[in-house]
Amino acid sequence: MFDPNRFNRDDTLILGFAEYCVPAQQLAKYTELPYRDIELHRFPDGESKVRLPDQLPDKVIICRSLDRPNHKLVELALAAATARELGASELILVAPYLCYMRQDIAFYAGEAISQQIIGKLLAQWFDAVITVDPHLHRIDKLSEAIPDTEAITLTAAQPIADFLGKTYNNPLLVGPDEESEQWVTAVAQMQGLEYVIGRKKRFDDYNVKIALPESVCTARDLILLDDVASTGRTLEATALALQAYKPASISAVVTHALFVGDALKRLENAGIQQVWSTDSILHSTNAIPLAELLSTAL
């Protein structure tokens, strides 16, 4: 079992990648563990080179989110194997955003069940994997995706609830779809807020429609909540559906700010005045640091 008291400064090191090291450095601050960079070089031909500190202690924690994951997965494979080579006997991945969690079933025969395959690779490289709000749809526990390893799921509900409590006065929370319900309920209860949940239909990567219950109130400050925003179409469709109720304002808060392409611009055009996110993925909307939450798992 995972022992929360097992880390100390003398035998544990936190490693981050210099291209986005703030969460890793803050995690080091909260846990009072030493921090070092993993140097990353990307060659002109598309290959990557990583360099770790040449002396590693027994326990090594690598902190890196896995958005835009393919390069990062290969670089993690290089880093993990090199850490073992350099003597790390216990290797922990802290990935505030975990990739490939949505492809959890073969919708058509022959499709890769990527969640399981990538999960097994991570399990092979790391003794423990810690993440925040993974998008688990058809499985209940992260350990079903990352077997034979310590798979720890945190939720950003508390940091998000705290942020909303400081920033808004009696807003109405809106979950776009059934998948968000449990999580929106948790945030709402932490601050004693009201909430509604929509119903989503997805046609493809870019096209979704949202139906909302009629109970949504006019002239309220509405906060759309979701765990991850990629193309932003879910938030966009929800905002467009909400316009009919003449809200006082619409904002959005997401744990994971993927926001690919023109997603943020589309949200603005759909009438979302403010978009906030945790710092699981580096983005201009980051407002809610996760380091303190992550430190509770170590």
Q: Which residues bind a copy of itself (CB under 8 A)?
A: 43-54, 67-71, 73-75, 77-79, 81-82, 85-86, 99-100, 102-103, 108-114, 116-118, 120-121, 205-206, 230-231, 258, 260-261
Listed as own residue / partner, the contacts of 212-220 with beta carbons closer than 8 Å and 24 or more positions apart are: 212/174, 212/238, 212/241, 212/242, 216/172, 216/174, 216/242, 216/245, 216/247, 217/172, 217/245, 218/245, 218/246, 218/247, 219/246, 219/247, 219/248, 220/171, 220/172, 220/247, 220/248
Least distance from C-beta 169 to a copy of itself, angstroms? 34
Q: How far is the CB of 26 from a copy of itself (least distance, A)?
A: 24
Given the complex with a copy of itself, which of 10 and 85 has the nearer CB atom?
85
Nearer of residues 3 and 107 to a copy of itself, judged by Cβ = 107
C-alpha R_g of the chain: 20
CB of 38 to a copy of itself, least distance (A): 9
CB of 255 to a copy of itself, least distance (A): 14
- Closer Cβ to a copy of itself, 92 or 99, answer by number: 99
We find the least distance from the C-beta atom of residue 192 to a copy of itself, in angstroms, to be 34
Pairing mode, if any, of strands 128-132 and 221-229? unpaired
86 C-beta neighbours (distance < 10 Å), count: 14
Query: Between 69 and 271, whose beta carbon lies closer to a copy of itself?
Result: 69
Of 276, 227, 184, nearest to 96 by C-alpha is 227
Q: How would you class 155 by CB atoms within 10 Å of its CB: exposed for 0-12, middle for 13-18, buried for 19 or more?
A: middle
| Residue (52 or 290) nearer to a copy of itself, CB | 52
